[in-house]
Amino acid sequence: MAHAGQIVAIMRLSHTAPQWKGGNVGIRRQSKSAAQHGDSSRRRFGVKLLGAAAFVSVLLATAVLTGLPDSRGDVRGGTYGFVSVDALMNSSDAEINAEMDAMVAMGASWVRVGLHWNRIEAVPGVFDWGVTDRIVAAAKRHNLNVLGLLGGGAPLWAATPTPVSFMEAPPQDPRQFAAFALAAATHYVSSVATWEIWNEPNNPIFFPPAPNVAAYAAMLRAAYAAIHSVSGNVTVLSGGLAPEPAGKVIPPTQFVSQLYAAGAGGSFDGLSLHPYTFPFPIDSDPNGGWSSIAEAHQVMIDHGDGGKKIWLTEFGAPTGTSPVSVSEQAQANILVDAIHRAESMSYVGPLFVYTIRDTGVDPSNPEDNFGVLRHDFTRKAAYQALAGTR
């Protein structure tokens, strides 16, 4: 899901394909000054529309989304949703509603919403839920189920010192994170019943300076107990795991095995993965992003957890002109293929498409172009495919 900042994850796309600093994953880095001063105009998912530009954008959204078709094609909405990126946090109510109108028109029934600890509890014990309240309320008005992602990095007062990625630093004490999880679960007890604990804890971008399974397992255990103390009718997911790129990412299957070894097997109700394959179709991906689903499930079976679901909390492909982009038709094909495959796997839960709308207009920047709608709300082929209007 979701967050402002710049992408720095290096993804190995094939043994010979170019590497890029960019990302396929949810909550992103911010600068230290942005974290301290709450600047919401950062590049990555913090697209800030002001004045006339915002007015024009809303008018376009209204025009484009009027008269959306009822046809849902052959994709069952209960099986998928969308990642809500940080553009929503800086958007008007009209823009938020327009994006969620589009989600519903495509038959989606879920939205993944990031709750950024370093923004919400910048001062110990003082919580500002205003931004996420707007988004959660809009989701409920649209009858969208909310997956709450607890992450975004620890605030200054709780963060582990790290020179690598200030905004994504894990907490020094897992009990502090559990207290935040408890506060979030309590605040949203009537509106959020599914929680994901951190984003890509196997990735040094989101767990700097390097992934630490023991430290994450302690966070997961503490947060799981805290959330379940609020309500027995909740589902707690482990943090979505990044596919294995070049660099220091711990491969998903290895990370899951180590989670069990660290005693965290009883502290998640479902496992989360991010099985990206772009720029390749699923069957042609040399990195085995999609195959990590079955591999992780086998690890779960080996530990007596075969009955738990694997949730695919991010999956997508960017359009545009970058070396890792795909054509708009290829994006549509990849997304529909992924949703159909997920539906056919009995142990797989909902898949979350990353993302609903382009966050920028630079075709050479893949991070601007993951949407199924363009930034001006006009539709790509993927929208047509998911809405059944082909």
Contact yes or no for 197/219 (Cβ under 8 A): yes
Cα dihedral sign, 16-20-24-26: positive
Which burial class, exposed, middle or buried, applies to 53 when counting CB atoms under 10 A from its CB (0-12, 13-18, 19+)? exposed
208-245 pLDDT, tens digit each: 889 999 999 999 999 999 999 999 999 999 999 999 86
Q: Residue 165 has what pLDDT?
A: 52
* Residue 273 resides in a domain: yes
| Strand partners for 310 | 271, 348
Q: What are phi and psi of 83, to 5 degrees?
A: -80, 130
* Residue 104 resides in a domain: yes
3-state helix, strand, coil in the chain (%, to 5): 40, 15, 45
Q: How many domains does the chain have?
A: 1
* Residue 2 resides in a domain: no
State the Cα–Cα distance between residues 259 and 214, nearest whole angstrom.
8
- Which residue has better confidence, 3 or 304? 304
pLDDT bin (cut points 50, 70, 90) of residue 246 is: low
State the Cα–Cα distance between residues 84 and 92, nearest whole angstrom.
14
State the Cα–Cα distance between residues 56 and 41, nearest whole angstrom.
19
* Residue 1 resides in a domain: no
State the Cα–Cα distance between residues 359 and 105, nearest whole angstrom.
20
- Nearest alpha-carbon partner for 351 in 265, 249, 254, 276: 276
Q: Determine if the pTM surpasses 0.85.
A: no
**CATH number reported for the structural domain that contains residue 331 in this entry:** 3.20.20.80
Which burial class, exposed, middle or buried, applies to 302 when counting CB atoms under 10 A from its CB (0-12, 13-18, 19+)? exposed
Q: Which amino acid is at 290?
A: W
Spell 119-139 as b/e; 16+ CB within 10 A means b.
bbbbeeeeeeeebbebbbebb
Angle between helix 174-187 and helix 213-230 axes, rounded to 10 deg = 30
Ranges assigned E (strand) in the chain: 9-11, 20-22, 80-84, 110-116, 145-151, 194-199, 235-240, 270-273, 309-315, 348-353
State the Cα–Cα distance between residues 252 and 232, nearest whole angstrom.
28
Please report, for residues 220, 325, 332, the alpha-carbon distance to residue 317 in angstroms, rounded to integers and kept in the order given.
Answer: 29, 7, 9
State the Cα–Cα distance between residues 231 and 182, nearest whole angstrom.
10
* Residue 269 resides in a domain: yes
Q: What's the rounded mean pLDDT across residues 79-98?
A: 86
Residues recorded for the chain: 390
Q: What's the rounded mean pLDDT across residues 73-98?
A: 76
Residue partners of 73: CB distance under 8 A and separation at least 6: 107, 385, 386, 387, 388, 389, 390
Q: What's the rounded mean pLDDT across residues 364-373?
A: 97
* Per-chain mean pLDDT for the chain: 82
* Residue 139 resides in a domain: yes
98-152 pLDDT, tens digit each: 999 999 999 999 999 999 999 999 999 999 999 999 999 999 999 999 999 999 8
Residue partners of 217: CB distance under 8 A and separation at least 6: 259, 262, 263, 264, 267
* Residue 65 resides in a domain: yes
Is cis: bond before 355, omega within 30 of 0?
yes
State the Cα–Cα distance between residues 158 and 237, nearest whole angstrom.
23
265-279 pLDDT, tens digit each: 999 999 999 999 999
* Residue 4 resides in a domain: no
Domain that holds residue 335: 9-387
301-359 pLDDT, tens digit each: 999 999 999 999 999 999 999 999 999 999 999 999 999 999 999 999 999 999 999 99
What tokens does 256 get?
């899951």
Q: Residue 161 has what pLDDT?
A: 75
State the Cα–Cα distance between residues 192 and 387, nearest whole angstrom.
26
The conformation of residue 320, written as its DSSP 8-state character, comes to: S
- Nearest alpha-carbon partner for 345 in 273, 297, 277: 297
Triad 66, 71, 74: Cα angle to 5°: 140
Contact yes or no for 65/378 (Cβ under 8 A): no
Largest CA distance in the chain: 57
